[in-house]
């Protein structure tokens, strides 16, 4: 009996994560277009073509184990475009909140076979969205909210979010990661972390991305 290939099943809720995304970009070629047809049955038309897969699972471990959704897609631009984009998103909320996804859309194995045939991507990036509750402002990398007085009048402005980048070295423009830190209502803190991936898209890549993002989050949430 063969084991069905699937992405590593991670528990986003245990890390205060609502969504994790991975994007891989491939160069368009006749060989890759053939994979679109042979593996996932995507017919290349005059315009953009898209393949979609939706899978669900419930984590086996953790005190909080909400249902998770895996949305996978492959998009090929028209003949004038030179890219093919593969995107994977794992979230704790349904991409179709008002209807139950059809079982016919559960095509994770096809998506993974396509990924395997495509080889090394041109580029890969990841983003992870956190939501933290009951956070002490003094523990944040930048205290939110923060009030500042105007230089020209008596108005007071409240800073409720910041966007920043961690640079590899002082004086360098190279980014290790970027992030957006928001606290729009004075309670929950929303953290969006983004970084470039330099490895091949593997079955355990979601776990690697989650671990790296969690390490970054601990740095930004501990002052």
Kindly tell me the burial class for residue 39, based on how many C-beta atoms sit within 10 Å of its own C-beta (0-12, 13-18, 19 or more).
Answer: buried
The pLDDT value recorded for residue 104 is 64
Q: How many CB atoms lie within 10 A of CB 214?
A: 16
| 194 token code pair | 């983004």
The pLDDT value recorded for residue 208 is 95
Peptide bond into 114 cis (omega under 30): no
Mean pLDDT, the chain cut into blocks of 10 residues (223 residues total): 73 96 89 75 62 89 90 79 88 75 73 85 95 86 86 82 91 91 91 90 93 95 74
Q: Are 205 and 22 in contact (CB under 8 A)?
A: yes
For Cα atoms 139, 140, 141, give the angle at the middle one, nearest 5 degrees. Answer: 125
The pLDDT value recorded for residue 1 is 39
Rounded-to-integer distance, Cα 122 and Cα 46, Å? 24
Q: Report the side by side order of strands in the sheet with 49-57.
A: 49-57, 68-76, 83-91, 17-27, 123-132, 189-197, 175-182, 161-167
According to DSSP, the residues that pair with 85 across neighbouring strands are 25, 75
Rounded-to-integer distance, Cα 56 and Cα 65, Å? 12
The pLDDT value recorded for residue 80 is 65
């Amino acid at each position: 009996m063969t084991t069905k290939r699937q992405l590593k099943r991670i528990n986003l809720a245990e890390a205060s994560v609502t969504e994790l995304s991975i994007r891989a970009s491939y160069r368009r070629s006749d060989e890759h277009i053939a994979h679109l047809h042979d593996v996932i049955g995507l017919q290349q038309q005059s315009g953009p073509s898209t393949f979609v897969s939706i899978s669900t699972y419930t984590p086996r471990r953790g005190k909080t184990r909400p249902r998770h959704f895996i949305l996978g897609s492959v998009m090929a631009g028209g003949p004038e475009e030179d890219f093919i984009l593969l995107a994977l998103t794992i979230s704790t909320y349904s991409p179709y909140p008002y209807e139950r996804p059809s079982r016919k859309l559960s095509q994770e194995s096809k998506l993974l076979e396509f990924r395997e045939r495509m080889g090394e991507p041109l580029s890969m990036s990841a983003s992870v969205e956190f939501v933290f509750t009951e956070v002490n402002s003094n523990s944040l990398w930048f205290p939110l909210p923060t009030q500042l007085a105007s230089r020209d009048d008596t108005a007071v402005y409240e800073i409720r979010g910041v966007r920043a980048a961690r640079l590899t070295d002082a004086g360098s423009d190279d980014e290790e990661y970027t992030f957006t830190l928001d606290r729009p209502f004075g309670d929950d803190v929303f953290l969006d972390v983004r970084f470039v991936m330099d490895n091949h898209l593997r079955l355990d890549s979601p776990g690697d991305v989650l671990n790296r993002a969690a390490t970054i989050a601990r740095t930004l949430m501990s002052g």
